Amino acid sequence: MAPLKSIVERALQKEMPQHIYFYFGARSERDLYLDRHFARLAERHPKLHFTPLLSEEPAKDLRHGLVHEAVAADFDELDGCKAYLAGPPVMVEAATKLFEQLGMRRIDVHADAFYTAAEMASAGKKTGAEL
């Protein structure tokens, strides 16, 4: 979350003219963090739109579903947009594919996929603890 938090806060500080749509997906409410921080920022900055989503445990006041599917439901066209993704590789890959189908150029998708130690081992890569 730290890189995305930094990008959002810096853009707001610089009063960038673009709208920022920040979707944050978690499995359940207990997995959300910094959601109150971003909700408060969105209250103070009309160009920031914060949407938390839960994929496994529906909640009364939150959207349910996957981030990339929520983006596709909210936008018909992503040409000219940029995406900054962080999360499990399967989410990053699904979002990248869907966003490209909606017109986003691959060069405008910036991603940081989080691999588990097991995924790293199966791919023959060293984890940070092994370096």
Architecture of the domain defined by 1-65: 3-Layer(aba) Sandwich (3.40)
Q: CB neighbours of 79 closer than 8 A, spacing ≥ 6?
A: 102, 103, 104, 105
Q: For 51-82, b where at least 16 C-beta lie within 10 A, e where not — what string? A: bbbbbeeeeeeebeebbbebbbeeeeebeebe
- Beta strand pairing status for 48-54 and 109-113? unpaired
pLDDT at residue 109, rounded to an integer: 97
- Tens-place pLDDT, residues 40-67: 999 999 999 999 999 998 888 899 999 9
CATH 3.40.50.80 residue ranges for the chain: 1-65
